[in-house]
Amino acid sequence: MTNSKYLVPLLALLMLTMFPLVQFFSNQNYIIHLLLYAFFYIIMTSSWNIIGGYGGFISIGHNAFLCVGAYVAGYAAVRYGISPFYLIGLSGLVAGIFGFIVGLITLRVKGPSFIISSIALIMIMRIVFDHWDLVGGASGITLPFNSLPVQWSKLPHYYSFLFLALAAIYLNWYVRHSKFGLALRAVSHDETRSAVAGINVKMIKVTAFALSAFLIGSAGAVWADYLTYIRPNMFLVILIAANIVLMVILGGKGTVTGPIVGTVIFILFNEIILTFFGATELNILLTGLLLVITLLYFPDGIVGSLKNKNILPKFLDWG
Amino acid sequence: MLSIKNVTKRFSGIVAVNDCSFDVEEGTICSLIGPNGAGKSTLFNCVSRVYSIDSGNIFLNNKRIDNLATHKIANLGVGRSFQLTRVLDELSVTENLVLHTASGFNFHLLKRAVTKDDEVKAEQVMEFLGISHLRHSSMKELSYGQKKLLDLGSVLMADPSFILLDEPAAGVNPRLLETILDRISLLKDQGKTILLVEHNMEMVMGISDKVIVMAAGSIIAEGKPSEIQSNKEVLEVYLTG
């Protein structure tokens, strides 16, 4: 670890940690929301990268685990009065166990078959949750608002998401540089070769899937409290998973910093388009164009392509 | 050490391996030869459980292995290379060599991908194979022959007691072939048991303690190299194909 490599990220972290102090001087709730939203997606993209980037399983259904985490926390908040912040771990655990079970079934197949199974998961869960009276069915659950003044009401979510984003980035880095990650990367490219080397292919894949689900589920708890209202059609739509996949591919899947770069660029671009063109269909068109143009010049994503050409800045080169 | 008893493997209507039985004694080099399509690589795949057998049994040191998962057989000390080199281009040279250290499923997987001990052992294996200079090379820079040696190296890193080598001489130049032969002999001197599939007769007859001949899925001859070289049935199979 050289000093210059981590200086920029550490400075950025310091600034992000201190930023909410501007609320003492002026109301920057919108920017706090944007940052918080970026942290939220960094959690999801970094988590997805574990199974999608290193494992090679392109899941278009990972928001299923976000839904599980959100509903665990949301239900407990309404039924037992427990703040979702205390349930981050439990939400993650339930999502992780659910991910483990789903992984045992769906990870038997690869490629297009796996993608279809991940879409099927979303569709099945949508039907189940829409008709599940215990969690409010299609009408969903309304969570209590926090009692903080408007100026400070976002801060618990801001710092929770920041913490979870750091955890997700660290886990992403750890997996990449561990023997577990080595096994996962080998499995993604040649399962037979990996098995012959003694790697327990099934357990590696399923554990990676569960780990990814755990992090996203944890974020779901905080997201539920932030939204204060959760219902199936807010989570169980393919667009959320598609956004995750796009962000990771844009930044560079299979890298540590790729998901972060992709998320920041995607959200920033979206904001610029909204500012100049409003919330129109042009937004979708231009986002698609962004992806196409980026992949033309950066076929392995921005971080991946720069790394391949040996011109990746040190502060983005974490593996 | 390895005992194959009445093993049969079918692919739909085709009998790729037909009721094959033979033993490989510990500390020997046994070669499996035969024309293309004889079932040699299929038999290899049955031993390492890349394919499940349809009937018969396979024993390693008197322990039945035909009902074990591929990774469990590998963890019993069976290493194998593939006919077409299967190094992983997406991993580094060292990572390819230390792949076996990510085997199994327990807390050792939390360790660093390539530890200092791994690096030391990888260096030893690379020296043994004469490829130390490739240590910092990108996989894209490696020639086919170098990848072949790397593949062999990754098998040796696991220190297996039983090694399956599937056409280690295929596609390599004569000088590299000498290196490979030399290393295989050294492995035998170290007490390893080797089952070898090869088409290079000079190599097979020069290095083997026992030769088994397959044709059309069945074993047609078994014996010392000198016996096989004068076996009429073997000559007929190779001349008529």
Q: What is the pLDDT of residues A34-78, one digit of tens each?
A: 999 999 999 999 999 999 999 999 999 999 999 999 999 999 999
Give burial (CB, 10 Å; 0-12/13-18/19+) of B11: exposed
Measured between beta carbons, the chain B residues lying within 8 angstroms of A193 are: 82, 86, 88
Q: How many of the other CB atoms lie within 10 Å of CB of B240?
A: 8
Predicted confidence at residue A1, as pLDDT, reads 47
Predicted confidence at residue A204, as pLDDT, reads 96
Tell if the CB–CB gap between A199 and B99 is shorter than 8 Å: yes
At residue A120 the predicted structure's pLDDT band, cuts being 50, 70 and 90, is very high
DSSP H or E stretch at residue B212: strand B210-215
Tens digit of each residue's pLDDT (9 = 90 or more) over B120-170: 999 999 988 888 988 888 888 888 888 888 988 998 889 999 999 998 888
Q: How far apart are CA B36 and CA B239, in angstroms?
A: 13
Residue A151 sits at φ, ψ, to 5 deg, of -60, -30
A193 in contact with B at a CB cutoff of 8 Å? Answer: yes
Tell if the CB–CB gap between A192 and B74 is shorter than 8 Å: no
Measured between beta carbons, the chain B residues lying within 8 angstroms of A201 are: 71
CA of A98 to nearest chain B CA: how many angstroms apart?
Answer: 20
Overall average pLDDT of the A5-32 stretch: 92
Rounded to the nearest integer, the mean pLDDT of chain A is 93
At residue B180 the predicted structure's pLDDT band, cuts being 50, 70 and 90, is confident
Measured between beta carbons, the chain B residues lying within 8 angstroms of A200 are: 69, 71, 103-105
Measured between beta carbons, the chain B residues lying within 8 angstroms of A203 are: 105
Q: How far apart are CA A39 and CA A166, in angstroms?
A: 9
Q: Among residues A208, A230, A207, which one has the least CA distance to residue A53?
A: A208
A255 in contact with B at a CB cutoff of 8 Å? Answer: no
Measured between beta carbons, the chain A residues lying within 8 angstroms of B89 are: 189
The structural domains of chain A, with segments of one domain joined by +, span 29-236
- Return the residue of B nearest to A182 by Cα: B113
Residue A150 sits at φ, ψ, to 5 deg, of -50, -40
Residues of B with CB under 8 A from a CB of A: 48, 50, 69-71, 74-75, 80, 82, 86, 88-91, 95, 98-105, 108-114, 154, 158
Overall average pLDDT of the A196-209 stretch: 95
Tell if the CB–CB gap between B70 and A193 is shorter than 8 Å: no
At residue A319 the predicted structure's pLDDT band, cuts being 50, 70 and 90, is confident
At residue A4 the predicted structure's pLDDT band, cuts being 50, 70 and 90, is confident
Query: Residue A189: which of B74, B90, B105 has the nearest Cβ?
Result: B90
Fold (topology level) of B2-240: Rossmann fold (3.40.50)
Q: How far apart are CA A295 and CA A297, in angstroms?
A: 5
- Return the residue of B nearest to A199 by Cα: B103
Predicted confidence at residue A228, as pLDDT, reads 92
Residue A118 has pLDDT above 90, yes or no: yes
Tens digit of each residue's pLDDT (9 = 90 or more) over B184-213: 888 899 899 999 998 888 888 888 999 999
- Return the residue of A nearest to B44 by Cα: A196
Measured between beta carbons, the chain A residues lying within 8 angstroms of B80 are: 196
Tell if the CB–CB gap between A186 and B101 is shorter than 8 Å: no
Predicted confidence at residue A105, as pLDDT, reads 94
Residue A2 has pLDDT above 70, yes or no: no
Tell if the CB–CB gap between B102 and A190 is shorter than 8 Å: no
Residue B240 has pLDDT above 70, yes or no: no
Report the percent of chain B where pLDDT is more than 70. Answer: 98
Measured between beta carbons, the chain A residues lying within 8 angstroms of B109 are: 178-180, 183
At residue B117 the predicted structure's pLDDT band, cuts being 50, 70 and 90, is very high
Measured between beta carbons, the chain A residues lying within 8 angstroms of B102 are: 179-180, 182-183, 186, 197, 199
CA of B183 to nearest chain A CA: how many angstroms apart?
Answer: 20
Tell if the CB–CB gap between B158 and A200 is shorter than 8 Å: no
- Return the residue of B nearest to A308 by Cα: B138
A131 in contact with B at a CB cutoff of 8 Å? Answer: no
Tell if the CB–CB gap between B95 and A182 is shorter than 8 Å: yes
CA of A85 to nearest chain B CA: how many angstroms apart?
Answer: 28
Give burial (CB, 10 Å; 0-12/13-18/19+) of A227: middle
Tens digit of each residue's pLDDT (9 = 90 or more) over A249-269: 999 999 999 999 999 999 999
Predicted confidence at residue B57, as pLDDT, reads 95
Q: How many of the other CB atoms lie within 10 Å of CB of A189?
A: 14
Coil, helix or strand for B97?
helix
A179 in contact with B at a CB cutoff of 8 Å? Answer: yes
- Return the residue of B nearest to A181 by Cα: B113
Residue A278 sits at φ, ψ, to 5 deg, of 75, -175
At residue B85 the predicted structure's pLDDT band, cuts being 50, 70 and 90, is confident
Instruction: Show the tokens assigned to A30.
Output: 């919108």
Tell if the CB–CB gap between B103 and A177 is shorter than 8 Å: no
Residue B84 has pLDDT above 90, yes or no: no
- Return the residue of B nearest to A54 by Cα: B90
Q: How far apart are CA A266 and CA B2, in angstroms?
A: 58
Beta-strand (E) ranges in B94-192? 162-166
Predicted confidence at residue A141, as pLDDT, reads 93
Query: Residue A199: which of B50, B103, B114 has the nearest Cβ?
Result: B103
Predicted confidence at residue A301, as pLDDT, reads 93
